[in-house]
Structure 1
Amino acid sequence: MSAAPEQIVVAHPSTHVVGVRFQKLGKLYHFDYSDFPQVHNGDYVIVETVRGQQIGQIMGFIEREDNKRSYKPILRPATPRDLLIKQQLQSKEVSALIDCRELASQIGGFEEVKFVAAEYSFDGTNVGILYSSEAPFSGGRLRSELQKRLRSNIEFRQIGPRDVARILGGQGACGGPRCCSTFLTEFSPISIKMAKAQGVPLTPTEITGMCGRLRCCLIYEYEQYVEARKQLPKKNKLVGTP
């Protein structure tokens, strides 16, 4: 895929802002839609990011009363051809991940590294390789060989265990689909005191998720338990009843 001509996109103050998401459950990024007031929620648009041009979906409108903050503008609404390119890139991402794992196996030294996913920029000039590893690794040769094979710039991006679980999907301990791969868009800090407040046994199998970290669901009813305990009698306390 040939690279698009370089385009300088300047951010400017705006009160007309949309939230755009690039992945199914990814973070929202804000862009100015003043040049395209006809866009609707759910529409796909082309925007400029630090990793090149990307195609994303509008998830909501944010009307701001002040215009002190600056946002990059939407380049244009996505066309049917853009959506077809998006599908083609998704297929190429699978091939890129396979190539990365294959080259890593040939080069050696990546036994402790888990290559999880590949992400193409919309213009095809950049490929992000998402990996999980407890320790940093030297990927200079792997990057060089992969760039030759894919003919794109390669960027290795380390992700945490929760992000790995989100990408891989699967079932949670409750038997349902993992929260991180169905509706969670951001991870909240989870602490052991949340389990204690709810009377959850502190055995690892009861409080850790498939990612090996404390379960995200421990925060769902935590505040309700804390508030309820303020009104309830202490354990073993005598209480009068009608």
Structure 2
Amino acid sequence: MACTSCSTSDGGAPKGCKNNGTCGTDSCNKLTVFDWLGNMNLPNGEAPFDCVEVRFKNGRKEFYRNTEKLTLSIGDIVATEASPGHDVGIVTLTGELVKVQMKKKGVDHKSEDVAKVYRKASQKDIDIWSEARDKEEPMKVKAREIAISLKLEMKISDIEFQGDGSKAIFYYTANDRVDFRQLIKEFAQSFKTRIEMKQVGFRQEAARLGGIGSCGRELCCSTWLTDFRSVNTSAARYQQLSLNPQKLAGQCGKLKCCLNYELDTYLDALKDFPDFETKLYTEKGDAICQKQDIFKGLMWFAYTDNFANWHVLKIDQVREIVVQNKQKIRVSALEDYAIEIVVEQEANFNNAMGQESLTRFDQPKKSKSKNKNKNKSKVQNPNQNTNPNQNANPNQKQGQGQNPNQKQPQAQGQNPNAKPQNKRPIIIKKNEDKK
């Protein structure tokens, strides 16, 4: 939040202005404009420009003429001309910069069709406007239920009430033309207000609703982008992007608008490149282009009889071979012109804790059945003597007088059915009789 009323409190928690997009300082709204001419004074004798820019719900902006010569500044709530009644909006721009915006949008500031600003909104106007905006969300839910019951292939994306509450504009999207004559009758009967249906495109719907793009930033169409140019798949081809609709499509389901941002730069760089369909004729065989690197100025060629082996050539070398081919001269082979690309070794960074592997927890778990079998093999008979030296003569040293061919006698308390263990045999001697 950029405005002072939306700044964080003393404890660090966000305070919030709770104005639901009608912030008084106009610093936390979509499509805000900075008046960089606001601190400049007009020359002597020049009257200020008599038109202002007013913003309504979801970034909708219109130009109005200040016929009453009111002292307006950015953030003032005004009552404007509408059909029928009046509408309520917030002033977003005043002064000479409005003339620049009107020229950019193709609006003639001398035309008499420009609507008027009636007055600054009173407290009564603001109360009626707030009550009307509180009705929009529950009305949208009920409107969608009515459209589904009539089995209409359309989606009601948003509802906007007029400032005086006399009219409601229903914004919807549809692939085909929709006959909503019965729908309007149902809406008028349920909501008891004047109904106006307005179809918007899928990009305009995403701009009104907002969201987060795949880049992690807020959508361009809901923050600063005002004109929606057509985007073609050729823009992705020129930038050598994979034609994957899941990666190239945005939140609106159409191709991303950002595909046009760098398209002109790519087209300027491709002017120096030979055509992608250029063939090189050599004595070893004909070669076809497989790949281009626009930033490094490289092209990859492969023989028609061996597409697995690629040769890297610079664009100057490709032009040289093309000139010789036009003179009906075949070069010996592409290997004479190919260059070797040195692959740089990637830096291996380790953090302070030594946890450099992001997939260290993704290793498959060991099966429990194997562990159980191992545990069973370790379990011994409780009657079995585990210490072979327990019954041995304490006066006798271990390992003395052992015969490797002699069988080991059974110790006392040992299970006779137990399997013999692979241990060295121990001979137990009886004490000699006392003389």
| TM above 0.5 | yes
Aligned to 2:55: 21
Q: Distance in 2 between matches of 1:92 and 1:221?
A: 43
The 3 A distance-change label for structure 1 pair 221 and 78 is: farther
Q: Distance in 1 between matches of 2:109 and 2:261?
A: 35
* Contact 2:72–2:94 (8 Å) recurs in 1: no
Aligned to 2:186: 145
SS of equivalent to 1:157: strand
Aligned to 1:11: none
* Contact 2:166–2:194 (8 Å) recurs in 1: yes
* Contact 2:249–2:256 (8 Å) recurs in 1: yes
Which amino acid in 1 is paired with 2:229? S
Q: Distance in 2 between matches of 1:119 and 1:157?
A: 11
* Contact 1:25–1:183 (8 Å) recurs in 2: no
Aligned to 2:379: none
Aligned to 1:221: 262
Aligned to 2:117: 74
TM superposition shift of 1:40: 0.4
TM superposition shift of 1:142: 2.2
Note if 1:84 corresponds to 2:117.
Answer: no
Aligned to 2:203: 162
Q: How does 1:154-193 map to 2 (within 5 A)?
A: 154-193=195-234
1:56 is aligned, of 73, 85, 89, to: 89
User: What count of residue pairs does the alignment treat as equivalent?
Assistant: 224
TM superposition shift of 1:32: 0.9
Q: How does 1:91-130 map to 2 (within 5 A)?
A: 91-106=134-149, 108-110=150-152, 112-130=153-171
Q: Distance in 1 between matches of 2:53 and 2:159?
A: 23
Q: Distance in 2 between matches of 1:187 and 1:67?
A: 24
Aligned to 1:47: 80
Aligned to 2:65: 32
Q: Distance in 2 between matches of 1:86 and 1:47?
A: 13
The 3 A distance-change label for structure 1 pair 81 and 183 is: farther
Q: Deviations over 1:61-120 (max 9, x none)?
A: 2535996323222011123443333322221111221221232344x222x211111111
TM superposition shift of 1:157: 1.4
Q: Distance in 1 between matches of 2:146 and 2:179?
A: 14
TM superposition shift of 1:215: 0.5
SS of equivalent to 1:74: strand
SS of equivalent to 1:24: helix
Which amino acid in 2 is paired with 1:84? D
Alignment identity in percent? Answer: 29
SS of equivalent to 2:110: coil
Which amino acid in 2 is paired with 1:31? Y
Q: Distance in 2 between matches of 1:146 and 1:175?
A: 39
Which amino acid in 2 is paired with 1:109? K
SS of equivalent to 2:87: strand
TM superposition shift of 1:164: 2.1
Regions of 4+ moved over 6 Å: none
The 3 A distance-change label for structure 1 pair 163 and 51 is: farther
Which amino acid in 1 is paired with 2:74? N
The 3 A distance-change label for structure 1 pair 190 and 105 is: closer
The 3 A distance-change label for structure 1 pair 185 and 25 is: farther
After TM superposition, the score normalised by the length of structure 1 is 0.79
TM superposition shift of 1:162: 1.1
| Higher CA-based Rg | 2
After TM superposition, the score normalised by the length of structure 2 is 0.46
Task: Give 1 or 2: higher helix fraction.
Answer: 1
Please give the root-mean-square deviation of Cα atoms over the aligned residues, in Å.
2.8
* Contact 1:99–1:146 (8 Å) recurs in 2: no
Q: Distance in 1 between matches of 2:84 and 2:268?
A: 45
The 3 A distance-change label for structure 1 pair 61 and 177 is: same
SS of equivalent to 2:116: coil
Aligned to 1:3: none
TM superposition shift of 1:152: 0.8
The 3 A distance-change label for structure 1 pair 78 and 196 is: farther
Which amino acid in 2 is paired with 1:68? K
Q: Distance in 1 between matches of 2:192 and 2:134?
A: 16
Q: Distance in 2 between matches of 1:140 and 1:117?
A: 19
TM superposition shift of 1:133: 1.2
Q: Distance in 2 between matches of 1:78 and 1:221?
A: 44
Structure 2 residues without counterparts, runs of 5 or longer: 1-47, 101-107, 273-294, 300-313, 318-435
TM superposition shift of 1:151: 1.4
Q: Distance in 2 between matches of 1:55 and 1:186?
A: 25
Aligned to 2:375: none
